[in-house]
Amino acid sequence: MVHSTSLQRRRLITACACGVPLAWLGISTRASAQECGQILGVGSRSVFTNAVSADQVEAAAAQQYLQLKQEAGSKRALAPNDHPQLARLRAIGERIVPIAMECNPRARQWKWEFNLIGSNQINAFCMPGGKIAFYTGILENLRLNDDEVAMVMGHEIAHALQEHAREQMGKSMATRGVLEIGAALLGLGNGARMLGDLGAQLLSLKFGRDDETQADRIGLVLGARAGYAPKAGITLWEKMSAANKGAPPQFLSTHPSSPNRIQDIRTALAKVEPLYERAPKPARRFEPAQPRASKQG
């Protein structure tokens, strides 16, 4: 998840149902999955991913997402459909989602949804099943342009394609004992309680450095193929670094430090830029969000 560690450490992360399809990562569409996996150093999923079913994770996410929308609506913080920044998010998403669906067959069945929540948090997330939300804080405080928004969105969706949240939830369930896992997978436990537990985990999961690096790299590809400049990944993290002054050094954090993150993106650009050069570009560009005098959250 892309977020400001100085403002918000809570995790609203993604998960998906199947393995890591990598054929779309290569410079040539004829490249094998193994070759493509080597291009950006994307690894395979963990055995812990299978400890919880994708259906359960997606159902819990849908429930949690609905609750978040209802809470935001009650505070008049849920942007209406005619909000210009929500229109912007949906326009960018319409270009990225078809590419995501190419790499994950299950994603073709997701009911993708985009919402904008009024809050000063520098944060964005994509829940399992394609439930995406941005906070106004990340758009306004960082003055993100369309390319940078696409990098954030690609990063969040990439977590889903890599099943990072499902893996972390599987590890968490494993610590609760084999018998409880077996009962949950066989549907012998309390279904409502199970969904509630999974939904609560979605609010607190944290990813490791490798997960964040993979999401950065795949996010570059998603954005580039959608026609957004991957070099925006550099300016995005420069802005994030400025917003995160006082954050702990890399060895004290599960996340790559901004300088290391930026360097990794610079290294990947040579492999991703050709995808951007060949991609059709968006016909419309949107203006960055303007900071407001007062914000919620």
Would you please indicate which residues are annotated as catalytic (active-site) residues?
A: 156
253: nearest Cα among 58, 18, 84, 6: 6
Question: For residues 104 and 158, what is the distance between their CA atoms, to the nearest angstrom?
Answer: 11
Q: How far apart are CA 56 and CA 41, in angstroms?
A: 30
237 Rama class: left (phi>0) / alpha (psi -120 to 50) / beta? alpha
Residue 85 CB-half CA count within 13 A: 22
Number of Cβ within 10 Å of residue 103's Cβ equals: 21
Contacts 24+ apart (CB under 8 A), 39-43: 39/271, 40/217, 40/218, 40/220, 40/221, 40/268, 40/271, 40/272, 41/213, 41/214, 41/217, 42/162, 42/214, 42/217, 42/218, 43/210, 43/214
